[in-house]
Amino acid sequence: MLMRDLSTGETPYKSVNWIPRIARLLLARIALQDSPTERLDMADICTQGVDTGFVGLGYAKVAFLGLVQGITELLPISSTAHMRIVPAVLGWQDPGSAFSAAMQLAALAAVISYFWGDVRDLLFGSLEALARRDFSDRHFRLASWIVLATIPIVIAGVALSGVLNACNSPLRSLSVIGWSCIAMAILLALAEIFARHKRTIAEASLADALLVGVAQIGALIPGVSRSGSTLTAALGLGFKRAEAARFSFLLGLPAIALAGLKELWELHKVHLDAHGWSVLATGLVVASISAFFAIWGLMRVLERFSAWPFVIYRGLLGVVLLLGLAMGWLA
């Protein structure tokens, strides 16, 4: 359209026909970049390789998805799975991997708020131990183990970033999510059956932290769930249910923070506009509140019952997804 206008002389620069053609093209390019009607549309599903489909959904839909994200992010049922399933069922476009990753900051706020006593003790206890060079201090040791346990998922995340964050990533397909839900349901069920449920965080070791950290890599696969993989690993290591969840959440803090901040940087690099940031902020606020209550509910369930409700839910969700795909109910 722009080239046609230039060739016919219908440009904002009619009075500068004496300027060489190359200069006219540069001026037209500047006008294109500055024009609010012609600038890059952030509502497009794919913006410079970053999935920004959430912008086109608008405030109300993103607020609803933020509610779903907050509830499912910290329950062992996979938030990414629900971020694909809910829009698909409602006929909305996929909000994208960028939305799911950025929403990690809502989970971060909820975990820090709910476990503030633990976070405060780890942070300030470690700093005090470091100041007096007491490297055997329990707070310093646990904080160090958490940092070391984050290394596996950082390496895996960087290695797979090209696939994980790509527009229309094959890993976000409903079939992958369905099989992942079923696989994790089986593993969580086995952990419930064979686990001893006796240990506390005070008895944790570096090996425990590293094993749970390796299990956290599963969170990169939609349908697995960070909470689900780390909770399953902690239960398998013999931790009490509530202690396993607590250990899982504390260990996941660095990875959650890094994932969320990285995605904000990616969105900044593609020049997400003010409207896009405000839509994202709406989802973050709603997700933070719902995530806090999700933690509260999870801890009550694990303290009074078991992880079986989540095993059943995950298994049924996976089966329904695969049946829906096979029968043509879901695309």
d(CA 94, CA 87): 6
Task: Give 97's pLDDT tier (boundaries 50, 70, 90).
Answer: confident
pLDDT for res 7:
42
What pLDDT score was predicted for residue 167? Answer: 63
Average pLDDT for 275-297: 93
Interval 149-178 mean pLDDT? 82
Question: Is pLDDT at 204 greater than 60 in this prediction?
Answer: yes
Query: Residue 295 in contact with residue 114, Cβ under 8 Å?
Result: yes
Give DSSP secondary structure letters for 1-21. Answer: -HHHHHHHT-STTGGGTTS-H
CA 72-78-84 angle, 5° bins: 90
DSSP letter assigned to residue 35: -
pTM, 2 dp: 0.79
What pLDDT, on the 0 to 100 scale, is given for residue 80?
80
| Rounded-to-integer distance, Cα 237 and Cα 196, Å | 8
216 close to 230: Cβ distance less than 8 angstroms: yes
- Mean pLDDT, the chain, whole residue set: 83
Burial class (CB in 10 A: 0-12, 13-18, 19+), 60: exposed
pLDDT band, very low/low/confident/very high, at 158 (cuts 50, 70, 90):
confident
CA distances from 62 to 95, 133, 280 (A): 8, 48, 8
Categorise residue 97: left if φ over 0, alpha if ψ from -120 to 50, beta otherwise. Answer: alpha
Q: State the DSSP H helix or E strand holding residue 51, giving kind and residue range, or none if neither.
A: strand 50-51
Extract the tokens encoding 322. 């695969």
Q: What is the pLDDT of residue 47?
A: 55
Under the banding of pLDDT at 50, 70 and 90, the label for residue 16 is: very low
Q: Mean pLDDT, to the nearest integer, of 311-318? A: 95
Q: What is the percent of the chain with per-residue pLDDT over 90, rounded to a whole number?
A: 53
At residue 168 the predicted structure's pLDDT band, cuts being 50, 70 and 90, is low
**What's the pLDDT tens digit per position in 99-155?**
888 888 999 999 999 999 999 999 999 999 999 999 889 999 999 999 999 999 999
Q: Which are the contacts of 150, defined by CB distance < 8 A and separation ≥ 6? A: 213, 216, 251, 254, 255, 258
DSSP state of 115: T
Which of 7-11, 166-170, 191-195, 197-201 has the lowest average pLDDT? Answer: 7-11
